[in-house]
Amino acid sequence: MRELSSGPGRILVFVYGVFAVAATGRSLVQLGSDADRAPLAYTLSLVAAVIYLVATTCLLLGGRRAWVVAVGSCVVELLGVLSVGTLSYVDTELFPDKTVWSHFGQGYGFLPLVLPFLGLVWLRATRPDATS
Amino acid sequence: MTDWLTATILALAGVAAVVGIVLLVRDEPAQDRTFVVLGVVEVAVLVQLVVGAVSLSQTDRDVSGVLFVSYLVGNLLVLPIGAFWSLAERTRAGTGVLLVAVVTVIALQLRLETIWDGSGA
């Protein structure tokens, strides 16, 4: 089995790490400064942050269990960005302030939309049964 | 924000990004001189941290201080962490990490400008 955090995985870990820090920072600032303004958006920012953290950690850890958790977090991430992305266009009142996933991650160069796909492709290439 | 400084960093980071792309295309590992280029960007970013902190203390603009400083600090950490992370693997992937780090610095520069202009989180 290939290391989850080597080769292309090394780039992925770095990108996920950057997003983990960015989303954590954003949600803490939002929740800390003005939590009542957009509770749903800010909570979702925090959820996104946790998911990015989990994904980064699992890629770093490697191994079968980490692989499974990483797949789970990428799927949740994909569903999250798709649903929040859609909702932020359809129901603007629900999101008076932005989250990482608003408008499919527009504020972050749409990377939040691309990232789960990259993650899943990489996890597919490194699935534990593929080479063992 | 100090425009000339942001412009300088953007230009230097642009050069670093081009170097990274050339290395990626040629499938060459990062050279020592690549890290020199990154070092120059890092020095400029360090200057920005100092200048930014001083400007923040003197301005009467409505700038979110915590946010601004956290971006300045994040800005400073991206390249060293990226360089360290890439050194473990001096391959195309390692170069890719460096490129992502440089692009992150560019993105943070643009965000810093927005924050300085007062359009919050």
Q: Which of A6, A7, A29 sits opposite B67 (nearest CB)?
A: A29
Task: Say what the pLDDT of residue A131 is.
Answer: 53
Per-residue pLDDT of chain A (132 residues; tens, 9 = 90+): 468 899 999 999 999 999 999 999 888 888 888 778 888 888 888 999 999 999 999 999 999 999 999 999 999 999 999 999 999 899 888 887 888 888 998 888 899 999 999 999 999 999 887 554
Distance CA A104, CA A101 (A): 5
In the numeric block, which tokens belong to residue A119? 């993650």
Tell me the per-residue pLDDT of B25-42, one tens digit each, with 9 for 90 and over: 999 999 999 999 999 999
Tell me the per-residue pLDDT of B40-89, one tens digit each, with 9 for 90 and over: 999 999 999 999 999 999 988 877 888 899 999 999 999 999 999 999 99
Say if B121 falls within a structural domain: no
| Domains in chain B, number | 1
Does the distance separating the beta carbons of B104 and A11 come in below 8 Å? no
Q: What was the ipTM of the complex prediction?
A: 0.91
Rounding to the nearest 10 degrees, give the CA dihedral for residues A109, A11, A70, A128. 140
Does the distance separating the beta carbons of A13 and B85 come in below 8 Å? yes
Report helix, strand or coil for A22.
helix
Distance CA B101, CA B98 (A): 5
| Amino acid identity, position A54 | V
Does the distance separating the beta carbons of B78 and A7 come in below 8 Å? no
Measured between CB atoms, does B85 come within 8 Å of chain A? yes
Sequence-distant (6+) residues with CB within 8 A of B86 are A10, B30, B93, B94, B95, B97, B98, B101
Distance CA A89, CA B19 (A): 39
Task: Say what the pLDDT of residue A1 is.
Answer: 47
Say if A64 falls within a structural domain: yes
Does the distance separating the beta carbons of A30 and B97 come in below 8 Å? no
Helices B32-58 and B92-116 pack at an angle, to 10 degrees, of 10
CA distance B109 to chain A (A): 13
Q: Which domain range does residue B47 map to?
A: 3-116
Say if A1 falls within a structural domain: no
Q: Which domain range does residue A56 map to?
A: 8-131
B1 or A15: which leads in pLDDT: A15
Say if A102 falls within a structural domain: yes
Does the distance separating the beta carbons of A109 and B104 come in below 8 Å? no
The residue of chain A nearest to residue B90, with distances taken between CA atoms, is: A7
| Domains in chain A, number | 1
Does the distance separating the beta carbons of B70 and A10 come in below 8 Å? no
> What would the DSSP string read from start to end of B92-108?
HHHHHHHHHHHHHHHHH
Indicate which of A4, A5, A6, A11 best probes the interface with B, i.e. most B CBs within 10 Å of its own CB.
A11
Indicate which of A2, A13, A14, A111 best probes the interface with B, i.e. most B CBs within 10 Å of its own CB.
A14
Say if A2 falls within a structural domain: no
Task: Say what the pLDDT of residue B121 is.
Answer: 46
Distance CA B47, CA A30 (A): 28
Q: Which of B70, B89, B104 sits opposite A6 (nearest CB)?
A: B89
Distance CA A56, CA A19 (A): 9
Listed in sequence order, the DSSP H helices in B1-121 are 3-26, 32-58, 65-87, 92-116
Say if A89 falls within a structural domain: yes
